[in-house]
């Protein structure tokens, strides 16, 4: 048994696969799905999403910035504005973004935009490390 998983962005379907396990992070915390999971809808946090291929050969890692996850009848849909695979991430850009956000945050601790940007950059870098 496997889960059919789809990453859907507003512009197109980014990624599709058969998976044996999916791990994402919702606003309440990390959650893993195995085949046969009860129907579930959750709001995603800015974090990494991991998909374990059904044949166990590869682990796909994505940086997901806000969105939703829906799972029902072994069919999983991840709706997200931005989902980048490890190979697509521009590490240099993410590093620059991280530095800039850190500086902005140091100047103004209440700056929510900077805090979000920092979190996004950190997730990107974390995912980029796993690039093959």
Query: Which residues contact another protein by CB under 8 A?
Result: 6, 8-13, 26-28, 31, 38-43, 66, 68, 70, 72-73, 77, 79, 81
In this complex, which beta carbon is closest to another protein, that of residue 26 or of residue 102?
A: 26
CA geometry: angle 98, 103, 104, nearest 5 deg: 100
Residue with tokens 């859907």: 8
In the complex, what is the shortest distance from the CB of residue 117 to another protein, in angstroms, rounded to a whole number? Answer: 16
In the complex, what is the shortest distance from the CB of residue 16 to another protein, in angstroms, rounded to a whole number? Answer: 10
Q: At what angle do helices 112-128 and 91-107 cross, to 10 degrees?
A: 150
In this complex, which beta carbon is closest to another protein, that of residue 18 or of residue 102?
A: 18
Contact, 61 vs 127, CB < 8 A?
yes
In this complex, which beta carbon is closest to another protein, that of residue 12 or of residue 109?
A: 12
In the complex, what is the shortest distance from the CB of residue 71 to another protein, in angstroms, rounded to a whole number? Answer: 9
In this complex, which beta carbon is closest to another protein, that of residue 90 or of residue 103?
A: 90
* Inter-CA distances, 61 with 100, 112, 117, 132, Å: 25, 26, 20, 11
């Amino acid at each position: 048994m496997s889960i059919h998983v789809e990453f859907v962005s507003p512009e197109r379907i980014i990624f599709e696969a058969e998976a044996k396990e999916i791990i994402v992070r919702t606003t309440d915390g990390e959650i893993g799905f195995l085949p046969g999971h009860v129907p579930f809808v959750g709001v995603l946090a800015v974090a990494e999403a991991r998909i374990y291929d059904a044949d166990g050969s590869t682990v796909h890692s994505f940086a997901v910035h806000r969105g939703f996850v829906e799972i029902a009848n072994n069919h999983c849909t991840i709706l997200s504005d931005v989902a980048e695979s490890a190979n697509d991430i521009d590490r240099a850009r993410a590093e620059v973004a991280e530095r800039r956000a850190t500086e902005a945050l140091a100047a103004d601790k209440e700056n929510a935009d900077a805090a979000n940007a920092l979190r996004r950059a950190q997730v990107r870098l974390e995912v980029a490390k796993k690039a093959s």
